[in-house]
Structure 1
Amino acid sequence: MTDLTPAEVTAQAEPVANTQSGTFGGVCQTCTAPRQVKFFYDDPLTTPVTDLTTRFLDADETVLAQTRTYHPLNYGAKDTEAQIQEIRDNLGIAEQPDLPHAPLTIDTGAEADIDSAADDAWELEKGLVGDLWTFETAMVRTFQPYVDEWNRDGWTGAAGDFINGVGRGISSWWNGEKDFWGSAWGWLKSTTSSAASAAWDAVTSPIETAQALGRAAWDGAQAAYEQLENLVEILRALLTGDIDAFFEKTQLLAALRTAGGAIGEFGQMIYDAFQNGVEWLNSLIEMIRRTPVLGLIANTAMRVITMMTPNFWAEMVGTGGGFVIPEVIIWLICLLIGALAAASGAGAAPAVAALAARAASTAAKIRRLIKGSGNAFRAITRFLDLLQPIIAKIGPLGRKLRDSIREIQRGVVDKTQKLFMPTRYYLQRLRQLEFDVPGAHGPQRHEGDVTAKALGDRTYYGIDPMTGTKVDGVHGGNHMAPRNSTKFKTPADYVRADDFMRNTADFKAGVSSGDSSIEVIESISNPKLFGPSAQSRFMGKQRVGSAKNPTGMRDLDFRNGTIKAVYKKKPDGTYGLYTMFPQHSGVFPAVYPWK
């Protein structure tokens, strides 16, 4: 028999204690009854909310009892193990045996405790976003030799034979991703049109393609290669905070469990994590529903990956390293799962320790598949080395987010109350802002769905992101090309900024005076808005030259910038968002062509 730790003994005793013990100083048994509440997320798996502080209060706000919702360890189970299915119906429940029949209030803890944890989470998030900018800046220096060579020589240089041969698929993929994510460098020359239109099966067969790219040296190499498109879609779902797309796309990776080696281990871990996972999913859902951090990590990683130009991959393949982007993204996902598992509280932590260790072990095995020599291999190794400690910081942030969950339900009379916690607020609110007032155009021109290419095309060619043409989406005439085109990278930050602006003194003063239009400008570095080191949250392009005679493009610096919002009065007297966008404080000096 396996000896239990003190934490496991305490956890497993809790359900018994909650159903058998009385409330000290409570009313007589004939005036009381068992009461329970079950918390769920409204995510695609209806995940129970585990290890959540729960209080039962009377009409005078007196705390009658405080407990936590049940988690796997309460039943001797480990997260992602098959036993979870047997106890899943019990998870997320908080219960007490002898509470009054009268209506109760149920909440998730004292306001002061929740506020303190939320403040801690905000400080951790700001620090992590600053780290991403430091990382991106370091990566620009690391990949500069390859970018310089590529922008100078393109396919006529060292990458020529590579692109015209087995590299055509890579160059096609790379073209699309740099247009979507942009690049930490700024401008990158596209491959030729013929290469850009090449399909992934440009060579005689996928197997021969994988072999030619140096990908046949390990078990599961071909299976991972075939998942590349899906892997990138997972990162895009994180960027937009689309929990439905993220769950759908990530679960598809479970197909890799039939592959061999470390890739097969990864596929099995994904299968177990979603089929039998609960505790780590709580941390994941809190991250997606309340912060843009996972999306900003995905965005930064891909902006660096796009600096791995075709000539870089030509060198990697030539030195035995191969095209390892699928492995890099799989490694990243392993680290994310491990960090999210580490976000569990002290009471539930033993239940996810095995998953955290499994994720770390799988990540290490995946990383050992990334081999090579020379400068290209050293560059990609530096990418991995500098990104890993940033991802590790997700654990403490996730814990504070879970400690600061704020839910309250008043007038509860049912013996069993079910409470669903929303997971799609930012996306749903963003869709509302698109049509907040007639002519509203903020999200359509200044939010994450606007690609890096669309930003540049707007200021260079006068193409409106709302229509994809030179027709203006607001008034129907010609769209006037602005000198600067900017955006927030994530829906979460866009909605947060709108919420903040509506609570400023300028906005409230405009409402009080009944102004038809209210303009609010706030500093990005305001610690209650985004704080310092917020550059990684925004993107912007500036046209060099006039609209009639553009000569180049610059990237914008937002580190001391502002947010500008314009609100219009509605017929009912309320105010809707007309537009909102980040304003830069400076420009990065490099000028590059835009075609």
Structure 2
Amino acid sequence: MTEMTPAEVTAQAEPVANTLSGTYGGVTQSCTAPRSVLFLYDDPYKTPATAVLTRFLDKDVVLAETRSYHVQNYGAQCSTDDVPPVRSNLGISEQPDLPRTPLDIDTGDEETLNALEEEAWTLEQEIVAALRTFEVTMAGVFAPYITEWNSDGWLGASGDFITGVGSGMSSWWDGEKDFWGSVAGALKSSAAKVGNAVWDRVSNPIDTLQDIAQTHAKAITTGVEVVKALTEFMRGLLSGDVDKLFAALNPLAALRTAEGVIGEFGTLMSDLFAKGSEFLNGLLEVFRRTPVLGLIANSIMRVITLMTPNFWAEILGQGIGFVLPELLMWVISLIVSALLAATGVGAAGAVVIIAGKIASLASKLRKIINANSKVYAFVAFLKTAEPIIAKVGPLGQKLRQSMYIRETKSLEPVKKVIIPTRHWIQKLDDLARQGHGPQRHEGAVTDKQLLDRVLHGLDPMTGSVVDYDKFFKKYGVPYDPIKHGTPPDFGGTTINVPGKGDVPITMSNKIKHISGEHATKFNTPEDYVRAYDGVISHPKFKAFVSGGNTGGAVKGIKMSDIFGPNFQSRIKGYDEFGKPTVFGPNTELVPVFAKDANGTYLLKTMYPNP
């Protein structure tokens, strides 16, 4: 018989005690009844919210306090092993004897929850500051490779692979999937190219072209396919869209059939999402309330885009494997470990098994990378990234502890509370309907679109020099290049404009897109929405409204006013020379509003301005 810990005994006793307490229907209980709350996230899995502090109140008097059930209440573990069918009981907070009158339900007193949320905000700012340091440090580490690659392209990689670090490499992250096909071919030729330069210490250079190319060909082809799946998951974290994140699990599940550590990783991740309720609670709470996971994914992938072809050529030329898949799996494993550390109060024992498996996998991956890493860059990457990702654990704990829910005058015997996970995306869609801010200045805008805008005057909304808003204002319809033709002559197309008849489309400044000295964006939808929320509560905006303005830019708001001094990893941009924008401490946030007929101020656009 397995001996249980005191915590396990207490956890398993709670639902039994609640069930057996009282004699329902007795004379002495005519004014009381069992009451319960079911907490569910609205993610695709309808995940139960476990270990949620729950208070039942009557006129601000706390009648009972408990927590929603978690797997350890039923002797189960948050494991990838099969667990008892207890999921239908998870997320329930219940009390056997409470008044039948309307009761309020909440998750704690506001003062305590606000203090915890402030602590979470402080941790988030620390993570963002550390990510900035990480990016700057890694840029220095990879600078010699980037300089060499840009100066003479000594590698001799095929032209369809890349023409420079500022364009092609960003495609690793921006999602141009056709780019991957040439990656494998170029890396194979890279290995061969370096092989030609390997010297026999005794006499002459030896030609190892065929040997190296053949040795690495299968590994590179397989590795690139794995990287595609891993990158989709990282992009899901960045998207802020819970549906996209869960959809990205399908490519990860496909890795289950791979050999070795890749197959082990695929199996663990697939099962973890299917059965790991405590992990999912940590993931969803961090994902729905902060952009931290997306910012970590963004910084990691931005650093990986610094790994130019000549860097990988050196790795492959020394007989080292293509370890980018292992690198990404290691990062994701650390994120999972951190989220498990955010387990709710009372449920900590439920994650021991799965936490051990994840830790073991992360250790294996690190050994693979370290064993094959004769290049300082890998060592620096591992040492710098690990402590940053570990901070997600304490952040997740504070977020779970500060969850605020309040339901008033509830009469239902079982109150179902749905916890939203799509706030950022829904609000971003609303802002996109108000104007063009997200379409030109939010994370979905790629590096290529930013560069095309600032260098060539192309509107991200149309992909051409035609400005979407100006075209609509002049012709009364959205611009469609298939229907309306393309500049400069638009194929002689005409548009029937009410009151004006058939009007020929002509290229002029009235429909030409104009870009400033910088093209900038927010990296995540969460921060775009947060910036908007910060603006409308800012004294500058209130003065703008009280001043009777009907529209225009609200001036004098700094990024630091809303995000604190370390905001740089939240935004990105390029200048008119194609160089990354340097955002100083006085970087401004420029919101532009227009007042509609109902007196509502609509956000026309918003962007960071260095």
Scaled by the length of structure 1, the TM-score of the pair is 0.85
- Which residue matches 1:33? 33
Q: Quick one: distance in 2 between partners of 1:97 and 1:573?
A: 51
What SS does the corresponding residue of 2:86 show, helix, strand or coil?
A: helix
Q: Quick one: distance in 2 between partners of 1:255 and 1:356?
A: 22
Give the letter for the 1:44 counterpart.
P
Change (3 A) 1:222 1:363: farther
- Which residue matches 2:550? 516
CA drift at 1:454: 1.4
Q: Does 1:12 align with 2:12?
A: yes
CA drift at 1:321: 1.7
CA drift at 1:211: 7.2
Give the letter for the 1:433 counterpart.
L
Q: State whether residues 291 and 492 of structure 1, in contact with CA within 8 Å, keep that contact through their aligned partners in structure 2.
A: yes
- Choose the corresponding residue for 1:412, options 407, 410, 413: 410
Give the letter for the 2:431 counterpart.
L
Q: Does 1:451 align with 2:446?
A: yes
- Choose the corresponding residue for 2:514, options 459, 465, 480: 480
Change (3 A) 1:253 1:84: same
- Which residue matches 1:538? 571
- Which residue matches 1:190? none
- Which residue matches 1:45? 45
- Choose the corresponding residue for 1:575, options 601, 604, 610: 601
- Which residue matches 1:121? 120
Q: Quick one: distance in 2 between partners of 1:22 and 1:561?
A: 63
Q: State whether residues 165 and 306 of structure 2, in contact with CA within 8 Å, keep that contact through their aligned partners in structure 1.
A: no
Q: How does 1:194-593 map to 2 (within 5 A)?
A: 198=182, 200=184, 212=214, 214=216, 225-370=224-369, 377-436=375-434, 440-476=435-471, 477-517=511-551, 519-520=553-554, 521-526=556-561, 529-544=562-577, 553=579, 555-584=581-610
CA drift at 1:201: 6.9
Q: Quick one: distance in 1 between partners of 2:232 and 2:226?
A: 10
Q: State whether residues 462 and 482 of structure 1, in contact with CA within 8 Å, keep that contact through their aligned partners in structure 2.
A: no
CA drift at 1:379: 0.9
Which string of whole-angstrom CA distances, capped at 9 and with x for unpartnered residues, describes residues 292-342 of structure 1?
Answer: 111111111111111110000110101122222222111111111111001
Give the letter for the 2:182 counterpart.
A
- Which residue matches 1:186? none
What SS does the corresponding residue of 1:70 show, helix, strand or coil?
A: coil
Q: Quick one: distance in 2 between partners of 1:171 and 1:212?
A: 26
Q: Quick one: distance in 1 between partners of 2:255 and 2:445?
A: 32
What SS does the corresponding residue of 1:480 show, helix, strand or coil?
A: coil
CA drift at 1:20: 3.5
Which string of whole-angstrom CA distances, capped at 9 and with x for unpartnered residues, describes residues 236-257 of structure 1?
Answer: 1111112112112124312323
CA drift at 1:419: 1.2
Q: Quick one: distance in 2 between partners of 1:213 and 1:574?
A: 65
Change (3 A) 1:558 1:448: farther
Q: State whether residues 288 and 421 of structure 2, in contact with CA within 8 Å, keep that contact through their aligned partners in structure 1.
A: yes
Q: State whether residues 174 and 306 of structure 1, in contact with CA within 8 Å, keep that contact through their aligned partners in structure 2.
A: no
Query: What percentage of aligned pairs have identical amino acids?
Result: 48
Change (3 A) 1:373 1:234: closer
Q: Quick one: distance in 1 between partners of 2:424 and 2:371?
A: 42
CA drift at 1:171: 9.1
Q: Quick one: distance in 2 between partners of 1:197 and 1:266?
A: 24
Which string of whole-angstrom CA distances, capped at 9 and with x for unpartnered residues, describes residues 36-55 of structure 1?
Answer: 11000010110000000111
What SS does the corresponding residue of 2:531 show, helix, strand or coil?
A: helix
CA drift at 1:195: 9.3
Change (3 A) 1:85 1:493: farther
Q: Quick one: distance in 2 between partners of 1:511 and 1:404?
A: 33
Q: Which moved more, 1:511-520 or 1:565-574?
A: 511-520
CA drift at 1:181: 4.6
Which string of whole-angstrom CA distances, capped at 9 and with x for unpartnered residues, describes residues 34-75 of structure 1?
Answer: 1111000010110000000111112x2221111100001111
Q: State whether residues 22 and 97 of structure 1, in contact with CA within 8 Å, keep that contact through their aligned partners in structure 2.
A: yes
- Which residue matches 1:588? none
CA drift at 1:214: 3.2
- Which residue matches 1:185? none
CA drift at 1:264: 2.1
Q: Quick one: distance in 1 between partners of 2:212 and 2:278?
A: 37
Gaps of 5+ in 1: 183-193, 545-551, 585-595
Change (3 A) 1:222 1:474: closer
Q: Quick one: distance in 1 between partners of 2:217 and 2:379?
A: 18
Q: How does 1:23-102 map to 2 (within 5 A)?
A: 29-58=29-58, 60-84=59-83, 86-102=85-101
Give the letter for the 2:573 counterpart.
G
What SS does the corresponding residue of 2:470 show, helix, strand or coil?
A: coil
Q: Quick one: distance in 2 between partners of 1:310 and 1:232?
A: 18
Change (3 A) 1:515 1:84: farther
CA drift at 1:30: 0.7
Q: Quick one: distance in 1 between partners of 2:448 and 2:347?
A: 45
Q: Quick one: distance in 2 between partners of 1:532 and 1:246?
A: 30
Change (3 A) 1:426 1:324: same
Q: Quick one: distance in 2 between partners of 1:224 and 1:287?
A: 30
Q: Which moved more, 1:319-328 or 1:514-523?
A: 514-523
Q: Quick one: distance in 1 between partners of 2:535 and 2:172?
A: 29
Q: State whether residues 187 and 313 of structure 2, in contact with CA within 8 Å, keep that contact through their aligned partners in structure 1.
A: no
What SS does the corresponding residue of 1:471 show, helix, strand or coil?
A: coil
Q: State whether residues 19 and 95 of structure 1, in contact with CA within 8 Å, keep that contact through their aligned partners in structure 2.
A: no
CA drift at 1:222: 6.8
What SS does the corresponding residue of 2:586 show, helix, strand or coil?
A: coil
Q: Quick one: distance in 2 between partners of 1:412 and 1:195?
A: 55
Change (3 A) 1:295 1:452: same
Q: Quick one: distance in 2 between partners of 1:277 and 1:266?
A: 15
Q: Quick one: distance in 2 between partners of 1:371 and 1:340?
A: 25
Q: State whether residues 41 and 421 of structure 1, in contact with CA within 8 Å, keep that contact through their aligned partners in structure 2.
A: yes
Q: Quick one: distance in 1 between partners of 2:180 and 2:12?
A: 59
What SS does the corresponding residue of 1:568 show, helix, strand or coil?
A: strand
Q: State whether residues 172 and 199 of structure 1, in contact with CA within 8 Å, keep that contact through their aligned partners in structure 2.
A: no
Which string of whole-angstrom CA distances, capped at 9 and with x for unpartnered residues, describes residues 78-120 of structure 1?
Answer: 0034454500000000001111111221111111121011001
Q: Quick one: distance in 2 between partners of 1:149 and 1:137?
A: 19
- Which residue matches 2:170? 178
Change (3 A) 1:457 1:213: farther
What SS does the corresponding residue of 2:63 show, helix, strand or coil?
A: strand
Q: Quick one: distance in 2 between partners of 1:212 and 1:173?
A: 27
Scaled by the length of structure 2, the TM-score of the pair is 0.83
Q: Quick one: distance in 2 between partners of 1:535 and 1:32?
A: 56
Which string of whole-angstrom CA distances, capped at 9 and with x for unpartnered residues, describes residues 515-546 of structure 1?
Answer: 312643422223xx1111211111122214xx
Q: State whether residues 215 and 323 of structure 1, in contact with CA within 8 Å, keep that contact through their aligned partners in structure 2.
A: no
The CA RMSD measured in Å over matched residues stands at 2.9
Which string of whole-angstrom CA distances, capped at 9 and with x for unpartnered residues, describes residues 398-450 of structure 1?
Answer: 000111111111222111111111101101110110112xxx11111111111
CA drift at 1:371: 5.6
Gaps of 5+ in 2: 189-209, 472-510
Q: Quick one: distance in 1 between partners of 2:346 and 2:179?
A: 55
Q: State whether residues 11 and 347 of structure 1, in contact with CA within 8 Å, keep that contact through their aligned partners in structure 2.
A: yes
Q: Quick one: distance in 1 between partners of 2:30 and 2:603?
A: 55
Q: Quick one: distance in 1 between partners of 2:56 and 2:8?
A: 25
